[in-house]
Amino acid sequence: MTEEDRLGPAGDAVYEALMKAHQGLSAEHSHALNARLVLLLSNEVGDATRLRELFAAARDMGFATDRREI
């Protein structure tokens, strides 16, 4: 998994675009959209080793029970 910031100055715009993609969707549809995105992005990345690292890294970050910022 890369430690490098690859989005750079486009970060804000990309984040906004992701929010827009979910805008107005029910939680159920947002879920479906995320699932679809993970599949599409997996194909974009294409490299099985990197994908496995990403899946593991995402999982290993754990899940906060305390989400005060929400």
Partner 1 sequence: MTDRYPPYPYTPPPGLGAPEPRHPVVIVGAGPVGLSIAIDLAQQGIRCVVLDDGDTVSVGSRAICWAKRTLEIFDRLGVGETMLAKGVTWQVGRLFHGEKQVWEFDLLPETGHKYPAFINLQQYHVERMLLERAHAFPDLIDLRFRNRVTDHAERGDHVELIIETPDGDYTLEADWYLACDGARSATRSRMALPFEGQSFEERFLIVDVEMPQSPFAVADRPERWFWFAPPFHEGQSALLHKQPDDIYRIDLQLGPDADPEVEATEERVLPRIRAIVGDTPFRLDWMSVYRFRCAMLDNFVHGRVIFVGDSAHVVSPFGARGGNGGIQDVDNLGWKLALVLKGEASSALLDSYDDERRHGARENILHSGRATNFMTPKSEMEALLRHEVLRLAETQPFARRLINSGRLSQPCSLDGRPLQTRGEAPIAPGSAMPDAPVVGKNGCRWLIEALQGRFVLLGVGGAVLPEVPGLESVIVGPRGSGAEVEDTEGLVEQRYGRGAYLLRPDGHVCAFFDTPQVEEVKEALARAKGGFL
In the complex with partner 1, which residue's Cβ is closer, 31 or 50?
31
What is the chain's Cα-based Rg?
14
Q: To the nearest whole angstrom, how small is the minimum distance from the Cβ of residue 8 to partner 1?
A: 28
Whose structure tokens read 């910031």?
Answer: 5
Q: Which of positions 3-62 make contact with partner 1 (CB under 8 A)?
A: 31-32, 35-36, 38-40, 43
Helix (H, G, I), strand (E, B) or coil at 67: coil
For residue 3, the 8-state DSSP code is: -
In the complex with partner 1, which residue's Cβ is closer, 43 or 49?
43
CB distance 67 to 15 below 8 Å: no
Q: To the nearest whole angstrom, how small is the minimum distance from the Cβ of residue 46 to partner 1?
A: 9
